[in-house]
Amino acid sequence: MTQTYNAIVVGAGVMGASIAFHLAERGLKPAILERKVTASGATGHSSGLVRMHYDLAAESELTFKSYQQYFNQWKERVGGECGFMNTGFIQINSREEEGQLRGNVANQQKIGINTSVITAKEVKELFPDLATDHFDYAAYEPDSGYADATLTTNSFIESAKRLGATLIQNCEVTAIRAAAGKVIGVGTNKGDFDAPIVVNAAGAWAKHVAGLADLQVPIETWTHDVAFLHRPPSLGRIPAMIDLALECYFRPEGSALILAAGVDESMRNDLPDEEDQTPTPAFVEKLIDIMVQRIPKIEQSGLHSIHVGRDGITPDQRAIYSGTDLDGFYLACGLSGTGFKTSPAAGASLVELILDGAPKTVNITPFRFSRFAEGKLIEGEYGYGNIWK
Ligand SMILES: Cc1cc2nc3c(=O)[nH]c(=O)nc-3n(C[C@H](O)[C@H](O)[C@H](O)COP(=O)(O)OP(=O)(O)OC[C@H]3O[C@@H](n4cnc5c(N)ncnc54)[C@H](O)[C@@H]3O)c2cc1C
């Protein structure tokens, strides 16, 4: 028998969970259809950095609102836990990019973000175990850190369920059903579901799901290797850090480990369901070499474990939050390896677009799907170029 809902969200990663929560908060009874289990895609492998430094003001604003209105007061705003840890955040760029770094920090200050440009000497005073070679200045965000992406997703879903949403796992969407230019529901391995609103939040699989509605969405698979290192016993406080001078990022992982990753070898043309979950052989050796340059005490440490995650990535490495030519069919995908931290405010803004015709929390118009057809790919105001290689 066909089941009927106010809205259907395809995918129970953090994006689908945020959208379902915000739809339910507005009084709708959405169904979240997930082909496996919650957070089994990119979200369950996310490094969880919550930082506000971007080269695009709209992305900084999405993270700022996500931090200010959600991560920083999760229990009161959403309920449950998100595991936010305030470690502080440092962004380092190459010396040649000092102008862009300063321009972006100035833009972020205008938004209200607590950020400033500090010297390498000041970085050393804050975090004495960091080596301060290869840069003169850094952006410093005292309020930022990291959160637990799986916990965040499950909290969103549990709160959405309390508000009337339904989660159906092991339910794969195999058809998008439409009539007279309007979406009317989906087909799945568990039968048909009717709804006037369908949101594609299927991560690296979103291109396939959009194809079910005859939409060509330019999303490729972004593959990302992450290492967990044992924390050297004598290591002091370290921040969450993106180090574009050495092309890596890292953060503490609880009290015993350090999470670290590089920014290259991400564009491997894998399929989203690629069997091979093993990072490339050179990955660990290269990453540890880099990490020792930034945190020399890592030399006393060693590898704990590794994992691989996959996200959907667009040509300008920015998300798509958008309606489509098919009335009632929306896209929240192509999060391009950076969509965890923005998911609360992005979900709120997309739901405003769906229900009110315009976003209010953050203007997500730059992330419209039509930008690809218009040839208006997004560029940062003080652009760093594509981060992922
Ligand atoms: C290794 C790694 C590290 C990252 N680090 C960070 C970070 O530090 N900070 C940050 O902000 N972002 C980070 N990201 C990016 C961020 O985690 C992702 O952008 C975000 O989690 C994507 O969420 P999502 O809900 O769009 O996709 P996913 O989490 O992939 O969820 C999509 C879901 O859709 C389901 N699905 C697919 N097809 C169907 C179908 N046909 N029917 C039903 N369900 C379907 C999948 O099973 C999956 O559960 C990282 C990503 C990875 C992979």
pLDDT tens sequence across 140-193: 999 999 999 999 999 999 999 999 999 999 999 999 999 999 999 999 999 999
Please state, in angstroms and rounded to a whole number, the distance separating the CA atoms of residues 115 and 22. 29
Q: What is the Cβ-side half-sphere exposure of residue 147, based on CA atoms within 13 angstroms? A: 31
pLDDT tens sequence across 24-48: 999 999 999 999 999 999 999 999 9
Asked if residue 339 and residue 244 are part of one domain, the reply reads: no
- With tokens 């069997």, the residue in question is 275
Counts of helices then strands in the chain (DSSP H, E) = 10, 21
CATH number, domain of 103, equals 3.30.9.10
CATH number, domain of 7, equals 3.50.50.60
Please state, in angstroms and rounded to a whole number, the distance separating the CA atoms of residues 43 and 56. 23
Asked if residue 228 and residue 212 are part of one domain, the reply reads: no
Please state, in angstroms and rounded to a whole number, the distance separating the CA atoms of residues 333 and 42. 11
Closest CA to 354 of 100, 1, 6, 112: 6
Asked if residue 26 and residue 134 are part of one domain, the reply reads: no
Please report the pLDDT score of residue 277 as a whole number: 65
Average pLDDT over residues 374-381: 95
Q: Alpha carbon of 271 to those of 73, 223, 334: distances in Å?
A: 37, 9, 14
| 208 within domain boundaries | yes
User: Residue 92's beta-bridge partner residues?
Assistant: 138, 243
Q: What is the DSSP annotation of 204-228?
A: GGHHHHHHTTT-----EEEEEEEEE
Asked if residue 270 and residue 179 are part of one domain, the reply reads: no
Asked if residue 242 and residue 266 are part of one domain, the reply reads: yes
Q: Is the pLDDT of residue 271 over 90?
A: no
Please report the pLDDT score of residue 266 as a whole number: 75
Please state, in angstroms and rounded to a whole number, the distance separating the CA atoms of residues 347 and 325. 20
Please report the pLDDT score of residue 276 as a whole number: 64
Task: Tell me which residues have their CB closer than 6 angstroms to ligand 1.
Answer: 10-16, 33-36, 40-43, 45-49, 149, 172-173, 201-205, 209, 224, 226, 309-311, 333, 335, 337-341
Asked if residue 305 and residue 331 are part of one domain, the reply reads: no
Q: What is the pTM of this model?
A: 0.98
133 CA distance to ligand 1 centroid (A)? 34
Burial of 351 (0-12, 13-18, 19+ CB in 10 A): buried
Please report the pLDDT score of residue 387 as a whole number: 81
Confidence of residue 78 (pLDDT cuts 50, 70, 90): very high
What is the chain's mean pLDDT, rounded? Answer: 96
- With tokens 């670290």, the residue in question is 260
Q: Alpha carbon of 256 to those of 229, 260, 262, 303, 348: distances in Å?
A: 9, 13, 21, 12, 35
Of 82, 307, 331, 335, the residue with max ligand 1 atoms within 8 A of its CB, to mutate for a pocket test, comes to 335
Please state, in angstroms and rounded to a whole number, the distance separating the CA atoms of residues 272 and 36. 14
Average pLDDT over residues 193-211: 98
Asked if residue 292 and residue 227 are part of one domain, the reply reads: yes
| 211 within domain boundaries | yes
Strand intervals (E) in 267-302: none
pLDDT tens sequence across 352-369: 999 999 999 999 999 999
Please report the pLDDT score of residue 65 as a whole number: 98
Question: What is the rounded (10 degree) CA torsion for 356, 362, 365, 369?
Answer: -90
Q: Is the pLDDT of residue 346 over 70?
A: yes
Asked if residue 300 and residue 238 are part of one domain, the reply reads: yes
Q: Alpha carbon of 1 to those of 72, 176, 190, 230: distances in Å?
A: 43, 17, 10, 53
Asked if residue 291 and residue 247 are part of one domain, the reply reads: yes
Give the rounded percent of residues in the chain with a pLDDT score beyond 90. 91
Please report the pLDDT score of residue 163 as a whole number: 98
Q: Which of 289, 309, 329 is the last residue of a domain?
A: 309
Please state, in angstroms and rounded to a whole number, the distance separating the CA atoms of residues 370 and 373. 5
Atom of ligand 1 nearest to the CA of 338: 12
pLDDT tens sequence across 292-307: 999 999 999 889 999 9
| 64 within domain boundaries | no
Closest CA to 202 of 329, 71, 325, 288: 329
Q: Which tokens sit at 340?
A: 């965890």
Confidence of residue 268 (pLDDT cuts 50, 70, 90): confident
Please state, in angstroms and rounded to a whole number, the distance separating the CA atoms of residues 154 and 372. 33
Q: Tell me how far the alpha carbon of residue 61 is from its chain's centroid.
A: 14
Q: Residue 177: give the domain boundaries.
A: 3-45+150-219+316-374
362 CA distance to ligand 1 centroid (A)? 21
* Cα angle, residue 340 at apex, residues 334 and 344 outer, rounded to 5°: 105
Q: Is the pLDDT of residue 127 over 90?
A: yes
| 271 within domain boundaries | yes
Of 60, 64, 141, 311, the residue with max ligand 1 atoms within 8 A of its CB, to mutate for a pocket test, comes to 311
Please state, in angstroms and rounded to a whole number, the distance separating the CA atoms of residues 145 and 153. 18
| 57 within domain boundaries | no
Asked if residue 304 and residue 279 are part of one domain, the reply reads: yes
Give the rounded percent of residues in the chain with a pLDDT score beyond 70. 98
Give the total number of structural domains in the chain.
2
Asked if residue 225 and residue 351 are part of one domain, the reply reads: no
Asked if residue 299 and residue 181 are part of one domain, the reply reads: no
Q: What is the Cβ-side half-sphere exposure of residue 320, based on CA atoms within 13 angstroms? A: 35
